[in-house]
């Protein structure tokens, strides 16, 4: 039987400017012996993806990485960053242990720091 109850979502909050992180490229990888690209997406004006980034039969127990291109975002906003930027791509590696649950992995970011948590 294939599980279709669980799903994965994310969003980005720009803590430096107090707003959603709009138009940030996000890639999702499944990590096994290497990295398998699952999808590429872009955050919307609310800093969220328009739909779950992993769901249905693709949503399964395992280790994953979300990769957020934050330096590109800040440069597009006119922020002067060093070359190379302190934070270029933020990589969040996390595990999905229960394929029946909603996993929400937000990113709170500025040009020099970030944090994350398992949200709801």
Whether residue 2 has pLDDT greater than 70:
no
**CA atoms of 22 and 28, how far apart (whole Å):** 17
In the numeric block, which tokens belong to residue 49?
Answer: 């993806």
**Whole-model pTM over 0.85:** yes
Average model confidence (pLDDT) for the chain?
95
pLDDT at residue 3 tops 70 = no
* Region 7-111: CATH code: 2.60.40.180
Task: Write the pLDDT tens digit of every residue in 51-64.
Answer: 999 999 999 999 99
Provide CB contacts within 8 A for 71, sequence distance 6+. Answer: 81, 85, 87, 88, 89, 111
What pLDDT score does 1 carry?
A: 47
Burial of 55 (0-12, 13-18, 19+ CB in 10 A): middle
φ, ψ for residue 41, nearest 5 deg: -150, 180
């Amino acid at each position: 039987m294939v599980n279709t109850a669980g799903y994965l979502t994310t969003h980005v909050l720009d803590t430096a400017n107090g707003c959603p992180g709009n138009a940030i490229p996000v890639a999702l990888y499944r990590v096994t012996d290497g990295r398998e690209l699952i999808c590429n997406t872009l955050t919307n004006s609310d800093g969220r993806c328009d739909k779950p980034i992993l769901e249905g039969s693709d949503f399964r127990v395992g280790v994953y990485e979300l990769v957020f291109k934050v330096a590109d975002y800040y440069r597009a906003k006119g922020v002067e960053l060093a070359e190379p930027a302190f934070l270029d791509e933020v990589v969040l590696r996390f595990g999905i242990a229960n394929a029946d649950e909603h996993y929400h992995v937000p990113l709170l970011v500025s040009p020099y720091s970030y944090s994350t948590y398992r949200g709801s």
